[in-house]
Amino acid sequence: MRRSLEPVLLSDRKVLWEPGVSHNWFYFPQSSVVAIVLEFESGNTVQVTATGSEGVVPIAPLVGCELTIARHVVQVAGSAMRIKAPALLGTVENSPLRCPIIAGFVQVFLSRLLQSVACNALHSVEERCSRWLLTTADSTDNSNVALTHESLAELLGVARPTVSVATRALREAGLIRGSRGNIEIVDRRGLERAACECYRIIRHMQEQLFAPAPE
């Protein structure tokens, strides 16, 4: 499969797929992050989840769906590897040894969606903001998170002024700092304490998936 992969750079806000289109490529983000966005009749949008270096997008073809129902847009610009859809699907079909890791990521992806639904209903904006900052930092392996307040507002499904209030509270607590379009995590342990339990649940699930096999 490695011979079929090619490196690409994904620019900020680049739309990889619109709803209702077929998938010609799969992307494995490296330093980039791809968000899954739903748009409503009112024109409002909300990001339901995002995938970075821990996974692959899109998920739909891996579970037998030819078309996507959501927009996939680059949330954090950076590098990725891509492979033509038939090459990846053929490899997975012909090599059962690769199926468990793909199936495992699909399970984590779906569990993350369910966790996000519960999180949005139960936890404060500040807690959820902390969770998204930590998740994005994990996905890019970088404590400097290239997220604007507009992107965070879309992630959290709230108005931009609400995000400004939440990030100001985190800055005043000494957990983050940053300028426009960039947020640096300066106290990771403190930010983890500020985040809701959903971050720990999702991270534990991913660590189990990617744990080294026993020798």
Q: How do residues 94-119 score in pLDDT, each as one tens digit?
A: 665 566 777 778 888 888 888 888 88
Q: Where in the chain are the domains?
A: 2-96, 119-209
Q: So what's the pLDDT on residue 125?
A: 92
Least-confidence region, from 50-54, 67-71, 128-132: 67-71
Q: What is the mean pLDDT of residues 141-165?
A: 85
How much is the pTM?
A: 0.83
Q: So what's the pLDDT on residue 72?
A: 92
Q: So what's the pLDDT on residue 214?
A: 57
Tell which wins on pLDDT, 198 or 205: 198
Give yes or no on whether 2-96 and 119-209 have one common fold.
no
Q: So what's the pLDDT on residue 99?
A: 67
- Which one is the CATH code of 2-96: 2.60.120.10, 3.20.20.10, 1.10.3720.10, 3.40.30.10? 2.60.120.10
In CATH, 119-209 is 3.40.50.1220: no
What is the β-pairing status of strands 71-76 and 15-17? antiparallel
Alpha-carbon span 9 to 213, nearest angstrom? 31
pLDDT over threshold 70, residue 79: yes
Q: So what's the pLDDT on residue 29?
A: 95
Please, which contacts does 87-93 make with residues 24 or more away whose CB atoms are closer than 8 Å?
Answer: 87/1, 87/4, 88/1, 88/4, 88/26, 89/61, 89/62, 91/1, 91/4, 92/62
